[in-house]
């Protein structure tokens, strides 16, 4: 789908002194509060005491450690949940906890969160005195009630939006719970867990724990490699705090100060550890970690992140890589099925919101499928699959939204209007999950389309590219690309710089069957630059010698120890066909 280009407006907010010109150009078009984190040190992080409930949570953890009670960590089955689980286990062990285990959630048996069934398994298998949830728990009312009935205390650490009531946990740490004043409402589950461990170390220090145990205080910054991976993989907004956490984690990874599991994931993904970018975490490491939770269970992923043996970690990472290949094959087949279904419907008949179901779809891949269809059609999509053999009459859905529509609010509105329709739901503004009876799919499909159309109102359903505008010919340099890499981390809410402008096309050739390798020169410059357009057909590109309008990123091509400038092309058009460029009237970060 061709996209309309909108140039980001300049915010007019003051920027730090001494910024290179190209970073000043880019930062001026982004959230000024996040851009101010140019000096991204851990000293700039907000104190963990601002998190409501953190003291009660750490008091309970400290009591469990002092009395040698068994602590059980229960996470989620995605990358945020896996990194949160690994961080909690690693941190508690370094803090001197001798009784800590983790339970790997199985999405196909228990679904999301601390369900009563999962609590029963935890009780029978581990008999813990305390369960600590990471990246889940804020909506686990029934599961926490079950734990309380069994005499198990529960500490919830989460970042998802809460419902109208909170579960009866002995402590809840979640920046999105009512009454919390922590400045970042976008921090990932792994970030919340890290803050809890930092505060627990402070409390243990005050209690004289480390001298009593004869152990050194651990440096909690050593766990920021996990925080960086989980934060980027969970696609949370990179506000000031998240940018600092990710930047610090990336710095440690680049300098080899990361755990063996992350090193192994970098190896199997074919990435350069010394030059790792946030995009590598999101598009290379995260998917391999997520593949375990999507196709089997997250046990392999957590084991990889907990391994301190390089050979073992590499074998586990290789297994994850194979699972990711299987995931991509399954996803490709599902996408073809969805596209054939949509092809039979006139484009003008596509609803504002689409709910799709196929009884052959894999439950672990429907979230990615929804994301792919959303990108193609630029409208919110929920993909459904059968819930599994234990619940043959139920469906599980995973949804992805577009900017300007909170998909969780849509589900909440449907639930208020038809209370018996949705069995469970939860999530974020941009992603959500739910379950419903198979017989109710058609009712839900119509209700979803209707509610989306109401909430979107007259908002046009068109895909856009947000550009930082034209780049002067003299700034198409390797040095500028290096500065942009250093100016990150880039990600959700703080997007990687993208420019647009006119070029002359000198060469083009197909590589890898579906990518175009090009050589272009700026319209007002002489330099010829290598460029690549991924997933682009040769017929979609104008002829050699033509003027072309490109939306592109400055990138560094590294080959045999040499570096050169390369453009990553997001969209290519002949100027007469190029979409109109619109100047945005607001900051879109």
**Coil, helix or strand for 491?**
strand
Mean pLDDT of all residues in the chain?
91
User: Which structure tokens are listed for 112?
Assistant: 């999301």
Residue position matching structure tokens 């994301």: 371
Q: Mean of the pLDDT values across residues 245-268?
A: 96
* Confidence class for position 560, pLDDT limits 50, 70, 90: confident
Q: Mean of the pLDDT values across residues 508-512?
A: 88
On the question of pLDDT at 217 being above 80, the answer is yes
* Confidence class for position 587, pLDDT limits 50, 70, 90: very low
Pick from 460, 374, 454: which is nearest to 410 by CA? 454
Whole-Å CA distances, 514 to 3, 326, 486, 520, 532: 20, 20, 30, 19, 11
* Confidence class for position 347, pLDDT limits 50, 70, 90: low
Residue position matching structure tokens 């930047």: 247
DSSP codes joined into one string, 468-481: -----GGG-SHHHH
Q: Mean of the pLDDT values across residues 554-578?
A: 87
Q: pLDDT tens for residues 37-48?
A: 555 677 778 788
Pick from 519, 501, 506: which is nearest to 573 by CA? 501
Whole-Å CA distances, 528 to 65, 506, 517, 532, 547: 63, 8, 13, 13, 14
Q: Mean of the pLDDT values across residues 82-101?
A: 97
**Coil, helix or strand for 485?**
helix
The CATH number corresponding to 4-29+468-583 among 2.40.50.460, 1.20.1370.20, 3.90.1150.10, 3.40.50.300 equals 2.40.50.460
Cα(470)–Cα(480) distance, integer angstroms: 14
On the question of pLDDT at 589 being above 50, the answer is no
Q: Are 47-320 and 345-456 the same fold in CATH?
A: no
What is the pTM assigned to this prediction?
Answer: 0.87
On the question of pLDDT at 588 being above 60, the answer is no
Cα(259)–Cα(309) distance, integer angstroms: 9
Whole-Å CA distances, 174 to 54, 88, 189: 9, 16, 9
Give the per-residue pLDDT at 277.
95
Cα(576)–Cα(270) distance, integer angstroms: 40
Q: Mean of the pLDDT values across residues 323-351?
A: 82
User: Which structure tokens are listed for 474?
Assistant: 């003299």
Q: pLDDT tens for residues 532-558?
A: 999 888 888 888 889 999 999 999 998
Top-confidence residue, 215 or 486: 215
Give the per-residue pLDDT at 577.
58
Give the per-residue pLDDT at 346.
63
The sign of the torsion formed by the CA atoms of 515, 517, 523, 527 equals: positive
Domain boundaries, the chain: 4-29+468-583, 47-320, 345-456
Neighbours of 41 (CB within 10 A): 10
Pick from 365, 357, 384: which is nearest to 294 by CA? 365
Q: pLDDT tens for residues 155-185?
A: 999 999 888 899 999 999 999 999 999 999 9
On the question of pLDDT at 81 being above 80, the answer is yes
431-437 and 394-400 beta bridge pairing: antiparallel
Beta strands in 420-467 (DSSP E): 422-427, 431-437, 464-467
User: Which structure tokens are listed for 61?
Assistant: 């953890």
The CATH number corresponding to 47-320 among 3.90.1640.30, 3.30.465.10, 3.40.50.2000, 3.30.1490.20 equals 3.90.1640.30
Give the per-residue pLDDT at 535.
86
The CATH number corresponding to 345-456 among 3.40.50.300, 3.30.70.260, 3.30.465.10, 3.10.310.30 equals 3.10.310.30
Whole-Å CA distances, 469 to 3, 202, 500: 15, 47, 6
For residue 284, give the DSSP letter.
Answer: I
User: Which structure tokens are listed for 356?
Assistant: 């799709």
Q: pLDDT tens for residues 277-311?
A: 999 999 999 999 999 888 888 999 999 999 999 99
Cα(439)–Cα(200) distance, integer angstroms: 48
């Amino acid at each position: 789908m061709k996209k309309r280009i909108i140039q980001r407006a300049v915010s007019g907010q003051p920027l730090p002194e001494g910024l290179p010109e190209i970073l000043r150009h880019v930062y001026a078009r982004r959230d000024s509060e996040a851009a101010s984190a140019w000096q991204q040190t851990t000293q700039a992080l907000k104190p963990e005491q601002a998190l409501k409930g953190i003291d009660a949570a750490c008091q309970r953890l400290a009591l469990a450690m002092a009395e040698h009670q068994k602590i059980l960590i229960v996470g989620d089955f995605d990358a945020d949940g896996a990194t949160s689980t690994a961080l909690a286990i690693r941190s508690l062990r370094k803090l001197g906890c001798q009784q800590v285990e983790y339970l790997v959630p199985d999405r196909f048996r228990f679904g999301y969160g601390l369900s009563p069934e999962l609590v029963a398994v935890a009780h029978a298998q581990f008999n813990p005195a305390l369960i600590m949830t990471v990246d889940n728990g804020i909506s686990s009312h029934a599961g926490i009630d079950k734990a309380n009935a069994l005499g198990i205390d529960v500490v919830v650490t989460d970042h998802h939006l809460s419902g109208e009531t909170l579960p009866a946990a002995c402590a809840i740490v979640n920046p999105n719970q009512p009454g919390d004043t922590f400045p970042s409402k976008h921090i990932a589950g792994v970030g919340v867990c890290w803050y809890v461990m930092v505060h627990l170390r402070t409390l243990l220090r005050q209690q004289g724990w480390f001298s009593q145990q004869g152990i050194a205080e651990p440096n909690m910054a050593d766990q920021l490699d996990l925080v960086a991976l989980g934060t980027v993989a969970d696609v949370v907004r990179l506000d000031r705090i998240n940018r600092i956490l990710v930047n610090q984690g990336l710095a440690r990874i680049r300098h080899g100060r990361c755990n063996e599991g992350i090193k192994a994931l970098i190896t199997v993904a074919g990435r350069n550890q010394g030059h790792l970018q946030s995009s590598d975490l999101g598009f290379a490491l995260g998917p391999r970690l997520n593949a375990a939770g999507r196709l089997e269970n997250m046990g392999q992923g957590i084991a990889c992140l907990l391994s301190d043996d390089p050979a073992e970690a590499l074998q586990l990472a290789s297994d994850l890589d194979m699972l990711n290949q299987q995931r991509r094959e399954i996803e490709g087949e599902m996408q073809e099925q969805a596209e054939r279904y949509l092809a039979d419907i006139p484009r003008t008949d596509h609803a504002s919101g689409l709910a799709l179901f196929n009884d052959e779809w894999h439950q672990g891949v429907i979230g990615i499928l929804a994301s792919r269809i959303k990108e193609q059609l630029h409208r919110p999509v929920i993909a459904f699959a059968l819930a599994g053999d234990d619940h043959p009459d139920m469906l599980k859905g995973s949804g992805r939204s577009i900017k300007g529509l909170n998909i969780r609010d849509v589900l909440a509105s449907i639930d208020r209007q038809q209370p018996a329709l949705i069995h469970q739901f939860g999530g974020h503004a941009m992603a959500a999950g739910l379950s419903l009876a198979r017989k109710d799919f058609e009712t839900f499909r119509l209700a979803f389309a209707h509610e989306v159309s109401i909430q979107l109102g007259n908002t046009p359903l068109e895909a856009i590219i947000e550009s930082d505008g034209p780049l002067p010919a003299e700034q198409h340099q390797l040095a500028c690309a290096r500065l942009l890499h250093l100016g990150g981390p880039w990600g959700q809410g703080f997007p990687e710089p993208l420019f647009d402008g006119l070029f002359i096309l000198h060469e083009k050739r197909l590589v890898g069957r579906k990518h175009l390798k090009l050589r272009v020169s700026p319209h007002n410059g002489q330099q010829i630059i290598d460029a690549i357009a991924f997933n682009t057909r040769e017929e979609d590109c104008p002829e050699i010698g033509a003027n072309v309008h490109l939306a592109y990123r400055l990138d560094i091509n590294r080959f045999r120890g040499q570096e050169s400038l390369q453009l990553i092309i997001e969209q290519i058009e002949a100027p007469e066909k190029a979409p109109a460029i619109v100047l945005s009237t607001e900051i879109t970060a």
